[in-house]
C-alpha cells in the first residue's frame, strides 16, 4: 500500500492521544446511564480483572453476548485441536458475564475490550500477551488492531459480515479500512455477499466460511428449574418470541390476544432484546388487556395469564425448552433479524418476519430444510396453530462442526507460522 493510501490510518493513530479525555468523559456518562458495569469499568481502560492463564493464549473478540455465544463452536474446535490452550474472550457491549460463564467452554475467561486509546490498549496487550488475535462480525478497532500487529501477533478476522449499506458507510474511510484489513493474515466471511464487499474494500481475497452458529452446543439451563416449570405449565400451549423489539411486539401481542381469546391455554413467553424496556412493554400489555406475570419480580404465570414477560438476561435456554414454537425477533423492523440457530438447535420450528438481512443465508438454508417459515404479522396466529412437522437439523449441525474444525486448524497454523 502506498503512503498516499495510508493517510487516514496515520491521521487516526496520530489523533489517539487526544481521545483519552473524551473516552473518560464517555465512560462516566455511560456509567451514569447504566450502560456500563461499575465493577468492570477498569477493563474498559485496559486494567485486567483476572490473571493471564499460563501457556498459549488465543484472544477472540466479538461485540456482545449473542456474538460471543456464536463463537463457541470455534472455541471448542481450537481447544480440541490444541489441548491445553486457553482463550480470552472480549466484548464491547455490556452483557451478563454470568451468562457467558455458564455457556462458554472451560479454560475461557471474559473481559471487556478497552476503548481504542493508546494507553488503554497497550496496558491490555502488556497484560494478556496473546499468541493469536481473532476478531469477528463487524466490531473492528483500528488502533488496537495496529497495536496488536506491531507486536507480531498474527491476526484473523472470522465470521465477518458486511451488507451493502455497511459497505457504503465504510467507503467514506476506505483508506482506513483498507489499511486495517490488510493487517489480517486470514479473513473469512459469513456469506458470499459479505466476502465480495470486504474484498472490494480491502483489495484482497476473502474466503467464505460456513456459519458457526449451527455447531454451537445448546444453551445452558438449570434442569431442576426446567422440570419444575414444565410441571407448573403442563397443559399450556407455549410459544416464545425472542429477542424482541417494538416492531416484533406489535406483531406478537395481537396474535397472542387472538389465540388467548380462543383458548386460554395459549401462553406467550415474551423475551425483549433489552430487559430494561419492561416498563414500556407492560404499558402495551395493559393497553391490550393481556394479563401477565413478570419474571424479574419472581412471577410465574397462572392459568389465567396470557403473557410471561421474560425481562431477564441469560435464560434463553430455559424459554426455548419450554416452548414448542419460536418467533425470532428483529425481523419485523430495521434490526434485520437475530440468530435463529439457538432455537433450531433445541428442536423448535422457527417463524420470522420479512427483515432478515443479517442472517439472510441462514434463513434461506433453514427455509429450504423446512425449519423456518417467513410470515407477515397478520399470519402469525394462524401459523402458530398450524401443525409443524418435526424436522432434524443434525446434518446442518454436523457440517458446521466440520467447518469449524477446518477453520480452527487454519488458525492454529497461522499462529504457529505454518500458514
One domain, residues 15 and 41: yes
Asked if residue 330 is part of any domain, the answer here is yes
Asked if residue 49 is part of any domain, the answer here is yes
Asked if residue 239 is part of any domain, the answer here is yes
Q: What is the mean pLDDT of each run of 10 residues along the chain (419 residues)?
A: 69 88 88 83 94 97 83 92 95 71 82 93 98 92 96 95 89 91 94 92 90 83 96 97 98 98 98 95 96 94 97 93 97 94 91 92 89 96 86 82 93 85
CATH code of the domain covering residue 360: 3.40.50.2000
CA angle, 108 then 275 then 217, to 5°: 35
Asked if residue 412 is part of any domain, the answer here is no
Asked if residue 405 is part of any domain, the answer here is no
- Where do the H-state alpha helices sit in 203-277? 223-232, 246-262
Q: What is this structure's pTM?
A: 0.79
State how many domains the chain has: 2
67 has catalytic annotation: yes
First to last CA, the chain: 22
One domain, residues 253 and 163: no
One domain, residues 179 and 283: no
Identify the CA nearest to 45 among candidates 68, 63, 65, 27.
27
User: What's the confidence (pLDDT) of residue 98?
Assistant: 60
One domain, residues 158 and 306: no
User: What's the confidence (pLDDT) of residue 387?
Assistant: 85
One domain, residues 177 and 306: no
One domain, residues 368 and 269: yes
One domain, residues 172 and 293: no
Expressed as residue numbers, the domain containing 76 is 7-209
User: What's the confidence (pLDDT) of residue 4?
Assistant: 53
Cell (9 digits) for 13: 493513530
The pLDDT tens digits of the residues spanning 281-314 come to 999 999 999 999 999 999 899 999 999 999 998 8
One domain, residues 242 and 166: no
Report the C-alpha gap between 243 and 95 in whole angstroms: 14
User: What's the confidence (pLDDT) of residue 1?
Assistant: 46
Identify the CA nearest to 315 among candidates 256, 251, 358, 269.
269
One domain, residues 156 and 128: yes
Length of the chain: 419
Asked if residue 253 is part of any domain, the answer here is yes
User: What's the confidence (pLDDT) of residue 218?
Assistant: 87
For residue 399, count other CB atoms closer than 10 A to its CB.
14
Could you identify the residue written with the cell 418476519? 353
Mean pLDDT of the chain: 91
Selecting among 36, 43, 67, 137, the annotated active-site residue is: 67
One domain, residues 292 and 197: no
User: What's the confidence (pLDDT) of residue 2?
Assistant: 47
One domain, residues 306 and 161: no
User: What's the confidence (pLDDT) of residue 66?
Assistant: 76
Q: Which DSSP helix (H) or strand (E) runs through 362?
A: helix 360-368
Amino acid at each position: 500500500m502506498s503512503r498516499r493510501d495510508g493517510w487516514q490510518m496515520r491521521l487516526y493513530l496520530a489523533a489517539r492521544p487526544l481521545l483519552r479525555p473524551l473516552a473518560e468523559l464517555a465512560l462516566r456518562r455511560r456509567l451514569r446511564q447504566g450502560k456500563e458495569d461499575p465493577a468492570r469499568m477498569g477493563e474498559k481502560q485496559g486494567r485486567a480483572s483476572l490473571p493471564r492463564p499460563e501457556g498459549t493464549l488465543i484472544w477472540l473478540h466479538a461485540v456482545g453476548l449473542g456474538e460471543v455465544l456464536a463463537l463457541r463452536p470455534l472455541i471448542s474446535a481450537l481447544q480440541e485441536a490444541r489441548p491445553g490452550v486457553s482463550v480470552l474472550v472480549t466484548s464491547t457491549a455490556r452483557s451478563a458475564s454470568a451468562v457467558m460463564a455458564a455457556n462458554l467452554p472451560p479454560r475461557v475467561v471474559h473481559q471487556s475490550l478497552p476503548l481504542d486509546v493508546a494507553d488503554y490498549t497497550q496496558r491490555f496487550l502488556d497484560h494478556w500477551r496473546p499468541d493469536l488475535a481473532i476478531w469477528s462480525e463487524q466490531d473492528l478497532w483500528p488502533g488496537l488492531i495496529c497495536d496488536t500487529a506491531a507486536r507480531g501477533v498474527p491476526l484473523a478476522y472470522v465470521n465477518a459480515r458486511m451488507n451493502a449499506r455497511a459497505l457504503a458507510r465504510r467507503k467514506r474511510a476506505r483508506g482506513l479500512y483498507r489499511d486495517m484489513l490488510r493487517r489480517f493474515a486470514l479473513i473469512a466471511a459469513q456469506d458470499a455477499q459479505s466476502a465480495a464487499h470486504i474484498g472490494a474494500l480491502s483489495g484482497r481475497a476473502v474466503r467464505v466460511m460456513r456459519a458457526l452458529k449451527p455447531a454451537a452446543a445448546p444453551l445452558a439451563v438449570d434442569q431442576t428449574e426446567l422440570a419444575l416449570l414444565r410441571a407448573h405449565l403442563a397443559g399450556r400451549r407455549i410459544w416464545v418470541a425472542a429477542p424482541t423489539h417494538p416492531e416484533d411486539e406489535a406483531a406478537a401481542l395481537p396474535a397472542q390476544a387472538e389465540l388467548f381469546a380462543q383458548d386460554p391455554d395459549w401462553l406467550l413467553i415474551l423475551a425483549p432484546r433489552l430487559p430494561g424496556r419492561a416498563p414500556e412493554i407492560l404499558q402495551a400489555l395493559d393497553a391490550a388487556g393481556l394479563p401477565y406475570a413478570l419474571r424479574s419480580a419472581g412471577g410465574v404465570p397462572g392459568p389465567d395469564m396470557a403473557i410471561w414477560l421474560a425481562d431477564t438476561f441469560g435464560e434463553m435456554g430455559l424459554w426455548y425448552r419450554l416452548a414448542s414454537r419460536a418467533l425470532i425477533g428483529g425481523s419485523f423492523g430495521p434490526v434485520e433479524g437475530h440468530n435463529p440457530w439457538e432455537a433450531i438447535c433445541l428442536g423448535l420450528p422457527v417463524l420470522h418476519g420479512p427483515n432478515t438481512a443479517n442472517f439472510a443465508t441462514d434463513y434461506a438454508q433453514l427455509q429450504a430444510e423446512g425449519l423456518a417459515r417467513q410470515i407477515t404479522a397478520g399470519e402469525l396466529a394462524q401459523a402458530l396453530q398450524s401443525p409443524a412437522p418435526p424436522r432434524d437439523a443434525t446434518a446442518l449441525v454436523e457440517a458446521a462442526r466440520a467447518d469449524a474444525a477446518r477453520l480452527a486448524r487454519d488458525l492454529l497454523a497461522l499462529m504457529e507460522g505454518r500458514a
